[in-house]
Structure 1
Amino acid sequence: MTIEQNCRKIESTVEAACLTAGRKREEVTVVAVTKTKPVEQVEELYRLGYRHFAENRPEGLIEKQTTLPQEDIYWHYIGTLQTRKVKQVINRIAYFHALDRMSLAKEINERAEKPVSCFVQVNVTGESSKHGLSPSEAIPFIKSLEGFPNITVVGLMTMAPIDATDVELCRCFKDLKIIQEQVAALNLAHAPCTETSMGMSQDYPIAIAEGATFVRVGSAFFAETEA
């Protein structure tokens, strides 16, 4: 399949998931995860109408930003960000999806030239192989960010287990949604927390069913396109 065909399939799947869940299509933002992909393929996604792109390395982010139009693209940084690399990326992105520790928050707040929309990463399932705060740590951590003017907690992010069953996926995403609603109910000025970043290529329809507002789709865009 071509990238264009994959895009049509993804859009059809998102629309169907929204319809089934009784949600509006515009409630879900599809973030194209373009890490490791050549600039030419990202340019094609741009031509096909996508404006949200995600990278996980400073080098990849900078390379693509020097080629693609910048006036209408929203860049996302996903994955672990070392504190020493914050200065390389934080003023190049619109969203950061992996805020999970105080040392990182302090560095972002110091280096950012304006408020950054951040997702606090929550390790809902407690997997030792995944980063993120435990569910019990999430709200105290978010409250502690009140004095950080350059951090706006727009939502929460989680990653589901790769080998999870549909039932386990539902529980994982549902649990994150519950915590997100709890934070939103606090009406914190620095943490409106109205969004949930959850769901990837293998499970984004289930994430949408459980309330995802941002889904991070990568391999589904590029399936069977490699020579």
Structure 2
Amino acid sequence: MSIIKQNVSRIMNLVASSCNQVHRLSTEVCPIVVTKNRTAREVQEMYDLGFRHFAENRVEKLLEPQEQFPQEDIIWHLIGPLQKRKVKQVINRIDLFHAIDRLSIMDEIEKRLEHPLDCMLEINVSGEESKHGFTPEEALDAYRTSKQYEKIRIVGLMTMAPFDASDEEIRFFFSRLAQIAKTIEKEEGLEAPLYLSMGMSGDFEAAIECGATHIRIGTSWFEREED
């Protein structure tokens, strides 16, 4: 069995276990394969194993695997910040954009979109200066602002925990995002709950237990787990 197959088995078992802990179905969680620095062979193996959600955090890094894997059933996610000058290069080539991090980018996205696009608001729950995103206090207004656009469809919220955060802090940040989503759902009378994109290789179990619907995993799919 290849390292990738071993990792997939281990990770998906952890996903199922985390869901069981909070009485969720594992089908409620979408595992996204982050292809950063991966080879075409590695991406192909993940595809062959049944994965269809793939992501990159940089525009130029996303365009390359798209050309290598033109399969129509792949769902492409852009999970990193987007500069205005690069919007036109990528915005009509993705299926979900996780990182609307400021109001000014919405105008450019709307102008360049050829069709409606599902997007998420990036929320800087931890308040780190190095991270992009709206503050928790700005989230509701940002959602309301997005409604003026015809082609931008806000379907969820995204956040990242600090790399050096403790498990307790990670759970606090993820739970806070879930609370922000519930506030928006209540204030706006949303019929469907918002997606929650949170959790990466090191903290996806906590994210699932806090309500994550999309987990963004890269390295852990591909490299041997350290003892």
| TM-score in same-fold range (> 0.5) | yes
Q: 1:1-227 residue pairs with structure 2 within 5 A?
A: 2-187=3-188, 194-224=194-224
1:90/1:108 contact within 8 Å kept:
yes
TM-score, normalization by structure 1: 0.94
Query: CA deviation digits over 1:149-193, x for unaligned, max 9?
Result: 11111000000011111111110000000001111223467x966
Q: Report the residue type matching 2:222 in the other structure.
A: F
Aligned mates of 2:165, 2:116 — CA distance in 1: 35
Q: Per-residue deviation at 1:7? A: 0.7
SS in 2 for 1:132: coil
1:39/1:64 contact within 8 Å kept:
yes
Aligned mates of 2:192, 2:13 — CA distance in 1: 30
Q: Runs of 4 or more off by more than 4 Å in structure 1?
A: none
Query: CA deviation digits over 1:90-133, x for unaligned, max 9?
Result: 11111101101122111111111111111100000101111111
SS in 2 for 1:212: coil
Aligned mates of 1:125, 1:137 — CA distance in 2: 14
1:177/1:210 contact within 8 Å kept:
yes
Q: Report the residue type matching 1:174 in the other structure.
A: S
RMSD: 1.6
Aligned mates of 1:147, 1:102 — CA distance in 2: 12
User: How many residues matched?
Assistant: 224
TM-score, normalization by structure 2: 0.94
SS in 2 for 1:196: strand
Aligned mates of 1:187, 1:55 — CA distance in 2: 31
2:58/2:81 contact within 8 Å kept:
no
Q: Report the residue type matching 1:11 in the other structure.
A: M
Aligned mates of 1:70, 1:116 — CA distance in 2: 19
Aligned mates of 1:30, 1:4 — CA distance in 2: 15
Aligned mates of 1:3, 1:134 — CA distance in 2: 37
Aligned mates of 1:79, 1:44 — CA distance in 2: 24
1:31/1:217 contact within 8 Å kept:
yes
Aligned mates of 1:40, 1:92 — CA distance in 2: 22
Calculate percent identity across the aligned residue pairs: 46
Q: Per-residue deviation at 1:208? A: 0.2
SS in 2 for 1:66: helix
Aligned mates of 2:91, 2:11 — CA distance in 1: 29
